[in-house]
Structure 1
Amino acid sequence: MSKLERLQKVMAHAGVASRRKAEEMIKQGKVKVNGDVVKELGTKVGPNDDVEVEGVPLVKEVPVYYLLYKPRGVISSVKDDKGRKVVTDYLPEVEERIFPVGRLDYDTSGVLLLTNDGEFANLLMHPSHEIDKVYIAKTKGIPTAEELKSLKKGLTIDGEYMKAVHSKVMSTDSKKNTAIVKLILHEGKNRQVRKMFDALGYPVDKLKRERFGSITLQGMNAGDCRPLKPHEVKQLRQAAEENVK
């Protein structure tokens, strides 16, 4: 027997929109099932149903999940109008329409997840779900313990509140006046780590995301990618769902 799923969930999985946005689109009459406009949120569809969103057929792909060790100098996007290298260039064999879960800056390396499962991506990215994102930063200058405490208390930078869950100096080089600092965030705001250290007066020279939830870069080199194992996907989903407030 084919499994029936709620229409908004199918749309979210296909990466059309978040589930909430999908519900709005259904209520606005923008979705057709088998040629008929559907406005009921309880509508369920199966694999053989034809779904159209604003006139565009929904491609129901099998969900896929990948880990990329993103190198520096690569755009966290599926395309770039300036012709620069993008993260999907490292997964040329993948036929599904994958996209990155959040972003890493052009100059930042490390753990980047890619998927075609929009609902999974939204679940991981919501700050209230408290997924640990562990960064290692090399700073110009050596921040004091007191200064790092201010990152945990939170800073308002350019009108935006930013906060770290944990911060610790791992090592220092007094001759070069640099430090290696570990920072854990639950948020994923644009250039957040760099902005926080800039605000303290310690610009970031190098930045790497070492861990996303339970996912690490163990055994990988920059540019390597691999499919996530089913238990890893399950762990990430469970971690996010456990922290839903």
Structure 2
Amino acid sequence: MRLAKYLAHCGVASRRASEELVRAGRVTIAGEVVRDPARAVTDGEEVRVDGRLVRPEPLEVWALNKPPGVLSTVRDTHGRKTVVELVPSRRRLYPVGRLDADSTGLLLLTNDGELAELVMHPRYGVERVYHVRVEPPRFGQRLVERLQRGVELEDGPARALRARAIGRGRLEITMGEGRKREVRRMLDALGYRVVELERVRIGPLTLQSLGLAPGESRRLGTREIDALRRAALRPRRRAGR
């Protein structure tokens, strides 16, 4: 197994993040620094990250209905509550993507770096659906069309796969990627302030089907995890269409 994939299976980080750890010289095999993420790891070899021995562990995937005021990170230097604290697992889990502290809704946490990569990377196009309330509350079809046509942001263009009005001052926006504060920045660029933002779906998983109240979490079953993988690996995703 390649080193980056091995680290992802150990729950260290996603495969892409594991590659960066290796290139930074933070990984050793049998006491020697290795900088090639493609280096093969064989049975019995001792792999360490920053001096800590790592081994593959049972993989877990959890769904959380994130409440407001909780940070989408593993730990916080200021002692603020993090999403990891809301999941009753002994594994070293990390959030798959992020939701801002003020945002709420569906968030996945896992120690499966390979699955995290499938869900997060834009090339797989796993859909994320958000319910958003904006100010001012009056908008027309022009806003919906503009979101679908695309908005130029400082880190490149951003476009909703779909958008529609679902009530006064409320929008449902479907995205195919999860860049930092992307929905908020798109609407801000168009003159609208996001008052509430809730993620209600990731791929085939919805808050409604999971039955999670704010602050609740549960471990996903095999069928749900397989459905996530299929959503990322279907041919039309790989073809970039």
TM-score, normalised on structure 2?
0.86
- Cα distance between partner residues in 2 of 1:40 and 1:166: 37
- Cα distance between partner residues in 1 of 2:101 and 2:223: 30
- Give the drift of 1:165: 0.5
- Give the drift of 1:8: 3.3
- Cα distance between partner residues in 2 of 1:162 and 1:194: 11
- Cα distance between partner residues in 2 of 1:205 and 1:224: 23
Give the structure 1 partner of residue 104 of structure 2. 109
Give the structure 2 partner of residue 232 of structure 1. 224
Give the structure 1 partner of residue 199 of structure 2. 209
Gaps of 5+ in 1: 173-178
Q: After superposition, where does 1:176-191 map in structure 2 within 5 Å?
A: 179-191=169-181
Which digits, 9 at most, give the CA deviation of each residue in 1:120-164, with x for residues without a partner?
111210111011100000112222112211111111123532111
- Cα distance between partner residues in 2 of 1:161 and 1:131: 18
Match of 2:89 among 94, 106, 114: 94
What secondary structure sits across from 1:236 in the alignment?
A: helix
- Cα distance between partner residues in 2 of 1:21 and 1:193: 24
Residue pair 2:11, 2:56 contacting (<8 A) in 1 also: no
Match of 1:195 among 182, 185, 210: 185
Matched, 1:82 2:78: yes
Give the structure 1 partner of residue 40 of structure 2. 43
Letter in structure 1 aligned against 2:138 = I
Which digits, 9 at most, give the CA deviation of each residue in 1:72-116, with x for residues without a partner?
11110111112211101112x311110000000111100000001
Residue pair 2:16, 2:117 contacting (<8 A) in 1 also: no
Change (3 A) 1:88 1:230: same
Give the structure 2 partner of residue 241 of structure 1. 233
What secondary structure sits across from 2:172 in the alignment?
A: strand
Give the structure 2 partner of residue 223 of structure 1. 215
Letter in structure 2 aligned against 1:155 = V
Residue pair 1:13, 1:120 contacting (<8 A) in 2 also: no
Identity rate of aligned residues, in percent? 38
Match of 1:70 among 60, 66, 72: 66
Give the structure 2 partner of residue 176 of structure 1. none
TM-score, normalised on structure 1?
0.84
Matched, 1:169 2:169: no
Number of residues of Structure 1 aligned to a counterpart in Structure 2: 232
Gaps of 5+ in 2: none
Residue pair 2:11, 2:93 contacting (<8 A) in 1 also: no
Which protein shows a greater Rg? 1
Give the structure 2 partner of residue 32 of structure 1. 29
- Give the drift of 1:117: 1.3
- Cα distance between partner residues in 1 of 2:101 and 2:78: 13
Residue pair 1:15, 1:119 contacting (<8 A) in 2 also: no
- Cα distance between partner residues in 2 of 1:185 and 1:17: 24
- Cα distance between partner residues in 2 of 1:22 and 1:196: 30
Give the structure 1 partner of residue 48 of structure 2. 52
- Cα distance between partner residues in 2 of 1:95 and 1:72: 24
Residue pair 2:14, 2:112 contacting (<8 A) in 1 also: no
